[in-house]
């Protein structure tokens, strides 16, 4: 299942047609809410059986539960069955969790927002490599878009997000945080997807002896003052073809010191990971 073709997910109450939860994943050439309204008018108010609808090059996958109708808008795909099954699972879990609220309907949709973590566990904004190291971004007046408000960070979901944020120290990989947090893989997939989307974190690979780096900018003088002129030699040797182990043979640093220096230079934006890096990355898949 290619999650990159997912555009929009919406859950709508069958009795009355009120949207209870909707997540936009990627931009569309048409307004997804208008498409959803049109389809729902057919399904709910005209009581027609409609499982798939094509509009402006997008496929609208439709599934009904006991209380809600689920809509999933994706790019055209040869086989939409995996996406349909995923949508069925989302509807099933939603109706089980909120059976009482849906049965005794009072019109308040705010409690449903925390279910965003469940949807994003199935269809994340972006599925990140679990070998990456997250680092928190500081918000300031100069960077007002950093740490933007996460709309799904309410109730129990907010508690989970704050717990995970507490584990982020710029040293642990996502996989290490997963093991320490006690949350499920789906929950962590959703949380890091949110933190990435709303600019709470940056992600980088952990440097090791097999890492291949490439020079991005000149070395700041303050770092040369700390490590000496040999630092410039090291940076110039990072040309995207040598591993740190190979570079270590050409500079007066041992490998552990070199890895520490490399991390500092990556954080400073002087070095970046080369495409030929052999360290790779293990993802959740």
Identify the pLDDT of residue 46: 65
Low-confidence ranges of the chain (pLDDT < 50): 276-285
Question: What span, in angstroms and rounded, lies between the C-alpha atoms of 76 and 85?
Answer: 17
Identify the pLDDT of residue 281: 39
Has this prediction a pTM greater than 0.85? no
pLDDT, tens only, 74-129: 999 888 999 999 999 999 999 999 999 999 998 889 999 999 999 999 999 999 99
Fold designation for 132-205: Arc Repressor Mutant, subunit A (1.10.10)
Q: Which CATH class is domain 3-122?
A: alpha beta
User: Residue 96, class by beta-carbon neighbours within 10 Å (0-12 exposed, 13-18 middle, 19+ buried)?
Assistant: exposed
Identify the pLDDT of residue 62: 92
Return the DSSP state at 268.
Answer: T
Identify the pLDDT of residue 75: 92
Domains 3-122 and 132-205 share a fold: no
Say how many C-beta atoms besides its own lie within 10 A of residue 25's C-beta. 23
First vs last C-alpha separation in the chain: 11
Identify the pLDDT of residue 266: 82
pLDDT, tens only, 30-56: 887 787 777 777 776 666 677 888 877
Q: Please state the domain extents for the chain.
A: 3-122, 132-205, 212-273
């Amino acid at each position: 299942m290619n999650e990159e073709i997912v555009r929009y997910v919406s859950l709508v109450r069958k009795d009355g047609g009120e949207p209870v939860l909707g997540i936009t994943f990627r931009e569309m050439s048409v307004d997804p809410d208008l498409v959803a309204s049109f389809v729902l008018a057919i399904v709910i108010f005209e009581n027609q059986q409609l499982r798939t609808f094509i509009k402006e090059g997008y496929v609208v996958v439709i599934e009904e539960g006991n209380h809600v109708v689920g809509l999933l808008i994706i790019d055209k795909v040869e086989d939409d069955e995996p996406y349909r099954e995923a949508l069925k699972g989302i509807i099933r879990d939603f109706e089980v969790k909120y059976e009482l609220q849906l049965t005794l309907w009072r019109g308040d949709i705010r409690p449903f927002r925390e279910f965003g973590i469940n949807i994003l566990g199935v269809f994340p904004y972006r599925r990140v490599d679990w070998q990456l190291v997250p680092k928190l971004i500081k918000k300031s007046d100069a960077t007002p878009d950093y740490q933007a408000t996460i709309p799904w960070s309410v109730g129990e979901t907010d508690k989970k997000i704050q717990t995970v944020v507490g584990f982020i120290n710029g040293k642990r990989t996502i996989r290490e945080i997963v093991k320490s947090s006690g949350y499920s893989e789906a929950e962590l997939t959703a949380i890091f997807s949110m933190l990435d989307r709303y600019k709470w974190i940056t992600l980088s690979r952990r440097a090791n002896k097999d890492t291949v780096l490439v020079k991005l900018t000149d070395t700041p003088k303050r770092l040369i003052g700390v490590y000496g002129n040999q630092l410039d030699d090291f940076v110039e040797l990072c040309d995207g073809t040598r591993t740190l182990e190979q570079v270590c043979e050409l500079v007066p640093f041992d490998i552990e010191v070199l890895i520490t220096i490399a991390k500092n230079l990556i954080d400073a934006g002087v070095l970046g990971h080369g495409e030929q890096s052999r360290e790779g990355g293990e993802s959740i898949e």
